[in-house]
Amino acid sequence: MMPIEERQRLANESPKWMYEFDLGDGIVTPLLAEELRTIHDTRERMIFSRLDVLLPSLEGLRCLDAGCNEGFFAQQLYQRGAAVDALDIRDVNIRRAKAVREICGLDPARLRFSTRDFFDLKAEPETYDVSLFLGLLYHLENPMGALRLLHRITRDVAVIETQFTRQQSAIESGWGQTGIYHQLEASCGLMLEEDAHANRLASHKVLSFVPNPAAVRLMLEAAGFTRIEQLEPEAGMNPQYLGNDRGIFFAFKQS
């Protein structure tokens, strides 16, 4: 076990943490924002109440956590028996994920963390039975390319969690000839993430595309997923999910 002083130093280092990890001897990593507690709790309950029914055990399965940050959701897959590859573009996040893995005595051969851009992942088609893609879609400059890659490397189901714009009505767009217009139900809002260099939860590039729910469905279908389920939050869950500002999709490769 890592000495208590070292664990204390790790927990107290700046910036504060994305997840609350129990490092033993009463040491708990401090959250960088209080709301994260209910965001994580909501996501954990929504995702695993569905996944645990689909796949009661992940033993023998290979799973991916893309944009894993400090690795909380990768750990959830690991605890269910999966061999997990988890990656994040920021080394500071991966260093923390590895430190927590060591402190918690988790097997590094079955819970593998690497610092990598998702777009550089060189996995064979259908490598991952289950892929998590949480909190990443709306931080990307090329979300459609990412979903195509996600579809290619996933064998069974991908779980996509994202922020939504509040755009519910169609956007009218001219189309080639004077007086011809399309009503586009699916749309994205463009966001300049000017804090990308300083915010370790954010995008790596500065321009991000935030989708509305119809855009997520359309992009997942265009990427090749054949069945798409949007999960329903339950009463009492985080208001962003109840208010449709964030949502979670299960995207299946086979029907």
Ligand X SMILES: C[S@@+](CC[C@H](N)C(=O)[O-])C[C@H]1O[C@@H](n2cnc3c(N)ncnc32)[C@H](O)[C@@H]1O
- Residues making contact with ligand X (CB under 6 A): 67-69, 73, 87-90, 93, 117-118, 134-136, 139, 200-201, 203-204
What one-letter code names the amino acid at 206?
A: V
CB of 97 closer than 8 Å to CB of 71: yes
How far apart are the C-alpha atoms of 40 and 238, rounded to whole Å?
9
Quick one: 58 or 134, whose CB is closer to ligand X? 134
Quick one: 90 or 253, whose CB is closer to ligand X? 90
Shortest CB 208 distance to ligand X, Å: 9
Quick one: 131 or 167, whose CB is closer to ligand X? 131
Report, in this order, helix, strand and coil percent for the chain, each rounded to 5: 30, 30, 40
Q: Which long-range contacts (CB under 8 A, 24 or more apart) does 120-123 make?
A: 121/66, 121/87, 121/149, 121/153, 123/64, 123/85, 123/153
Shortest CB 141 distance to ligand X, Å: 9
Shortest CB 194 distance to ligand X, Å: 15
Quick one: 18 or 103, whose CB is closer to ligand X? 18
Coil/strand/helix, residue 195:
coil
The H-or-E segment that residue 46 falls in is helix 36-54
Coil/strand/helix, residue 216:
helix
What one-letter code names the amino acid at 123?
A: A
Quick one: 8 or 116, whose CB is closer to ligand X? 116
Shortest CB 183 distance to ligand X, Å: 32
Shortest CB 177 distance to ligand X, Å: 39
